[in-house]
Amino acid sequence: MDSQQTVDQILKDHVPEELLKKVNKVIYGAEIEEIELPPMDKDLQCELKGYKLPRAKPEEMRAPRIVRVGIIQHGLVLPISDPIKAQRDEIHRKLVRYIEHAAASGVNIVCMQELWTMPMIFCTREKYPWTEFAENALTGPTTELMTKLAVKHGIVIVSAILERDEKNCDIIWNTTVVINADGRVLGKQRKNHIPRNGDFNESTYYMEGNLGHPVFNTTYGKIGVVTCYGRHHPLNWLVYGLNGAEIVFNPSAIVAEQFETLWHVEARCAAISNSYFTCAINRVGTEVYPREFTSGDGKPPHRELGEFFGSSYVTAPNGVRTPSLNRSGDGLLIAELDLNLCRQVKDSWNFPMTRRLDLYSKRLVEAAEPDFEPQIVN
């Protein structure tokens, strides 16, 4: 497969039009309408896609709530061996242009990938110079820059960075900052589940988040954040649903080997199970490190982290999803959502109503005890 080609593209190229409609109905859940968007400046090498997800039925008592989200996947600009500040500043410069284009396209909420200002340095297990990418979540240069953009364009920005909590013993966190359309930092979310597999040695750098599952009531809807590996945990998604989220962003950084299959299943299933929209965003490119590292897989030391495969996409609460962005280059996907659909899907399918929370809360309390006895019939 040309590494740029998604499955969507291959099907488009080879399946006859009439059949493709029917295939897409099963694969995406509906025929997805494209949105016309202003073209990007030619020097920006960035895929641009716009899709309209199905509208809710008209209601008498509520007006439609149409929101445009923009999700951005991107690769590094400078080599990882360059000075830290230069690497970050060049990424800032590039992303400002993408975000401005999103704003010019009518986007209301923008979200980038996990740790969007830096490489995924955890494969190295080295602390310096990499932890110098960490910054104060409220006053650091990235939040400062994003706040200006939010005010200038009246947009919400969801910005996933490496946080240095100087107030509390200099501890590092994997943190997402949510900035409202009026420029207020509404708050932050810390990654709730930390991977300990493959090259993702993140547990060497930070711990599981201690901020719960906040839902931010922004100008354009109630949003939550599931950071990367938290995507594997249905309970994580579930609690955002319980807290009233209408859109949950999943800024991620995952590599193709093994995980590409899961990518197209998990965030989509979460949208279905919880009757909200989900936006899954992955970075792109293969990152090359100055010194060798091992991957705990019996293979020789190497300098390349696996292939981040982009493929960002958006899913509606009824399971209908957009096609993916490409697998290897920068991209901006704009999706038009009708937030009224969340409640209509709940009314129709009754998943929250039939959830039996009382039964499960009791059982989970038992299962969390060290002397838990599973219900096994011999």
Residue 248's identity, in one-letter code, is V
Please state the φ and ψ torsions of residue 342, each to the nearest 5 degrees. -55, -55
Q: Is 47 a catalytic residue?
A: no
Site string for a copy of itself, 115-154 (x = CB under 8 A): ----------------------------------------
CB of 32 to a copy of itself, least distance (A): 12
Structure tokens at 228: 């990367």
Q: Between residues 266 and 330, which has the closer beta carbon with respect to a copy of itself?
A: 266
Q: Between residues 104 and 242, which has the closer beta carbon with respect to a copy of itself?
A: 242
Place of tokens 């039925």: 57
Is 95 a binder of a copy of itself (CB under 8 A)?
no
Is 377 a binder of a copy of itself (CB under 8 A)?
yes
Q: Which of residues 175-194 bind a copy of itself (CB under 8 A)?
A: 178, 186-187, 192-194
- The interface region with a copy of itself, picked from 44-52, 122-130, 164-172, 208-216 by CB under 8 A, is 208-216
- The interface region with a copy of itself, picked from 62-70, 85-93, 122-130, 242-250 by CB under 8 A, is 242-250
Residues 6 or more apart from 11 whose CB is under 8 A from it? 20, 23, 24, 27
Strand 284-293 relative to strand 302-309: parallel, antiparallel, unpaired?
antiparallel
Q: Is 123 a catalytic residue?
A: no
Is 208 a binder of a copy of itself (CB under 8 A)?
yes
Catalytic residue from among 94, 188, 191, 222: 191
Is 57 a binder of a copy of itself (CB under 8 A)?
no
Interface residue with a copy of itself, options 38, 39, 300, 374 (CB under 8 A): 374
Is 158 a binder of a copy of itself (CB under 8 A)?
no
Q: Is 202 a catalytic residue?
A: no
Residue in 54, 52, 92 with CA at minimum distance from that of residue 72: 92
Catalytic residue from among 111, 228, 279, 342: 228
CB neighbour burial string for 268-304, b if at least 16 within 10 angstroms, e if fewer:
bbbbbbbbbbbbbbbbbbebebeeebebeeeeeeeee
CB 327 within 8 A of CB 310: yes
Catalytic residue from among 114, 135, 202, 287: 114
Q: Which of residues 285-344 bind a copy of itself (CB under 8 A)?
A: 318-320
Is 360 a binder of a copy of itself (CB under 8 A)?
yes
Strand partners, 163: 135, 173
CB of 311 to a copy of itself, least distance (A): 9
In angstroms, the CA 310 to CA 31 distance is 22
Interface residue with a copy of itself, options 133, 237, 293, 313 (CB under 8 A): 237
Q: Between residues 80 and 320, which has the closer beta carbon with respect to a copy of itself?
A: 320
Interface residue with a copy of itself, options 64, 81, 86, 365 (CB under 8 A): 365
User: What Å distances lie between residue 345 and 36, 241, 355, CA to CA?
Assistant: 27, 13, 15
Residues 6 or more apart from 360 whose CB is under 8 A from it? none
CB of 300 to a copy of itself, least distance (A): 19
Interface residue with a copy of itself, options 222, 225, 287, 341 (CB under 8 A): 222
Strand partners, 51: 34, 335
- Concatenated DSSP letters for 36-65? --PPPPTT---EEEEEEPPPPPP-SSS---
Positions marked active-site: 114, 191, 228
